[in-house]
Amino acid sequence: VNLFFRRNRIPYRMRGMVGAGNREALEEMLKNDIPVIFAAGPTVPVLWRKKRLPLYPAKGTVSEKSIKAHYMTLLGLEGQGEDTWMRVASWGELYRIRLSDYRRFTRYTIPFTNRFYRMERVKDTEAGMGAGGRRTVRKNGGA
């Protein structure tokens, strides 16, 4: 992940992972406008391949979609306890996921694949950007 960020001059670095139960850490990242990327799945293929995580539309229709393995962006947390909902974005669409559904779904997935990635903003020079957002070039001519 960090290599991808550096090569594409994205000014963030992954600094570890946060479990779904650490609401304080998730809210701190959201408050500081740090992207919260998380994984859902994949399910353990042989045993629970039919398990899916429901996605509910953010507004409007009653229909629901579901996923088995997907990365999304957490936009916010609403509610408390068993009534906590995650507001998420996936491919430009807004959805909600019940946090209790997410936790239940993680029981059927490959261990350590369902985590929220702890991101931190890096200085432009560390992301391969010079002053004013310009690309920096090393003396050997490389980027």
Q: What is the pLDDT at residue 47? A: 59
Q: What is the pLDDT at residue 7? A: 92
Helix (H) / strand (E) element for 30: namely helix 23-31
Q: Average pLDDT, stretch 40-60?
A: 73
Q: What is the pLDDT at residue 39? A: 83
Q: Average pLDDT, stretch 121-137?
A: 55
Q: Select from 54, 29, 53 the least CA-distant residue to 114.
A: 53
Non-local CB neighbours of 95 within 8 Å, separated by 6+ positions: 55, 56, 57, 58, 65, 72, 87, 88, 89
Identify the three-state secondary structure at position 5. helix
Query: Between 114 and 120, where is the model more confident?
Result: 120
Task: Give the whole-angstrom CA distance, residue 107 versus residue 135.
Answer: 44
Question: For residue 65, what pLDDT band results from cuts at 50, 70 and 90?
Answer: confident
Q: Is the confidence at residue 66, as pLDDT, over 60?
A: yes
Question: For residue 45, what pLDDT band results from cuts at 50, 70 and 90?
Answer: low
Percentage of the chain lying above the pLDDT 90 cut: 17
